[in-house]
Structure formats: structure tokens, C-alpha cells
Amino acid sequence: MSETIILVDKQDNQIGTIEKLPAHEQAVLHRAFSLYIFNKKGELLIQKRNRDKYHSGTLWSNTCCSHPRHKEGMQNAIHRRLEEEFGIDTEMNEIFSTIYKCKFDNGLSEHEYLHVFIGYYDGEVNPSPTETEDYKWIKPKELLEGIKNNPEKYSYWLKDCIDRVLKFVK
């Protein structure tokens, strides 16, 4: 099933819609979100993306990320996706937004107006195997060391955002 996502301008105003795959083939600016879930120990829930993802498969990334669908509000989208990927829900607060663009080895690109959210959760998670090959709770210091020593093992957007995210952790 194809998914229609939201095209935006540099101020995040909707200017149209496009199917997800063509958006990544054409590198057009579209609305997206990234979620960072921490536990009481201060650990971040990260996932290893499923190898069958259309890009960045097998890379470690933040808790989850996706796109709001056409006519879907951001709050509905973030809670929907957290449930789909990890079988959980929690309160999320937007901490910043950013625009980034990167090209992948397979010819696809990301060009996103990215809304970044933080939340806290302690409890069991139930990751979707179609989305996630592996997951773990990790101390920020350990994650930063991993990114420094093996940057090729981590998603572009995680590396781009993690320092800013950590400024908001309680």
C-alpha cells in the first residue's frame, strides 16, 4: 500500500502531497518526525532498523521516526507510529525542529523538515519485526562513543540530532 506524505516549504507550510517512495527518489522537502524515548535510568531506547527498509537498513537509530500522513495531525502520527513500532505509548513533547538533506548509497535521499520529540517510558516494549531487527536501552555516553568510533553503524538523522536532544534530557 502506498503512503501519501506531506510536502512542505522551508517554514513547514504544507504545499502539497506526494507518495513516500517518490519523495525519497526526488529528494523533495517533506514533513517528518523523530521520537526519542528515555527511561528513568536516563537510557535511550534505540533500534536497529530492519534490513528490508527502503534505506538505512541495519543501522542503529533513535526510538522511531516516520512521516505524518496526509490529513493526519502530528500528535496522532507520533502516537500511531510509536504503537506500530514498539507497541507502547507515552506523552511526547516537541523539543526542536530542523531541516536536513542526505543522499544514500542506493540512490534514495532524505530531505526532511524534521520535528523532534522526547518522551519517557519504563516498561515492556514489543518491537515490530518488520521495522526493527534489534533494540536496546543505551546510556547516552555509550551511544556517543559508538557514534564516534563507528559512525557508519548509525543513521544520519540520529547523528545529526543526538547532541541537541541530550540537552533536553531530565
Residue 11 lies in a domain: yes
Residue 99 lies in a domain: yes
Q: What is the SS3 assignment for the chain?
A: CCCEEEEECCCCCEEEEEEHHHHHHHCCCEEEEEEEEECCCCCEEEEEECCCCCCCCCCEECCEEECCECCCCHHHHHHHHHHHHHCCCCCEEEEEEEEEEEECCCCCEEEEEEEEEEEECCCCCCCCCCCEEEEEEECHHHHHHHHHHCHHHECHHHHHHHHHHHCCCC
CATH code of the domain in which 84 resides: 3.90.79.10
Query: Which pLDDT does position 55 carry in this prediction?
Result: 64
Alpha-carbon span 66 to 24, nearest angstrom: 13
- C-beta of residue 59 within 8 angstroms of C-beta of residue 47: no
74-107 pLDDT per residue, tens: 999 999 999 999 999 999 999 999 999 999 888 8
Residue 170 lies in a domain: no
Strand partners, 117: 35, 94
Total domain count for the chain? 1
Residue 38 lies in a domain: yes
Q: What is the residue range of 121's domain? A: 4-165
- C-beta of residue 165 within 8 angstroms of C-beta of residue 118: yes
Instruction: Output the pTM of the full model.
Output: 0.94
Q: CB 125: neighbour CB atoms within 10 A?
A: 17
Query: Which pLDDT does position 56 carry in this prediction?
Result: 63
Active site residues: 65, 112
11-67 pLDDT per residue, tens: 999 999 999 889 999 999 999 999 999 999 999 999 997 767 666 667 899 999 999
Residue 76 lies in a domain: yes
Q: How far apart are the first and last CA of the chain?
A: 39
Alpha-carbon span 130 to 123, nearest angstrom: 21
Residue 61 lies in a domain: yes
Q: What is the mean pLDDT of residues 117-122?
A: 98
